[in-house]
Amino acid sequence: MVQKNILLEIQKHIEIAQSKIAVDAANEFISKNKAILENETSIDFGGSCGYAYLIAYNGRHPVLKNLKQIGLVDDPKKPYYIGLNFPIQFSQCLEYNLFVKRSVCKYLNENLANIFFCIYRVD
């Protein structure tokens, strides 16, 4: 059984990662790079298309067990993909996606546990 205080701490940092860290990183990337506004919800920067993922490998770690319990890990096989939703503009720009995910990964590693990694794929 998961201890309630651990779960609340994890949820707090997940919320910060989703609502502040990701948004700040996206805004920083947008301000430093020339964006092409495609429509109200999508932007482009040129360059490679792709996507970045936040993952973890240690399925026995208490933080990952808690993330599974609250439904943020849906893949039963390694690596474990962490399903966070970010309220940021969509872009297929790999550099943009990596910048945001690496910022979130760094924050979670510093504030929860050093178990998170960032991987990517090119479209």
Residue-wise pLDDT for 6-49, tens only, equals: 889 999 999 999 999 999 999 999 888 877 766 666 778 877 89
Q: Judge whether 23 and 66 are in contact, CB under 8 Å.
A: no
* Residue type at 108 in one-letter notation: L
Say what the pLDDT of residue 39 is: 65
Say what the pLDDT of residue 1 is: 42
pLDDT tens per residue across span 43-82: 788 778 999 999 999 888 999 988 988 889 876 678 899 9
pLDDT tops 80 at residue 110: yes
CA 53 to the chain's CA centroid: 7
pLDDT tops 80 at residue 94: yes
Say what the pLDDT of residue 27 is: 92
Say what the pLDDT of residue 103 is: 98
CB-CB neighbours of 122 under 10 Å: 8
For the entire predicted model, the pTM comes to 0.89
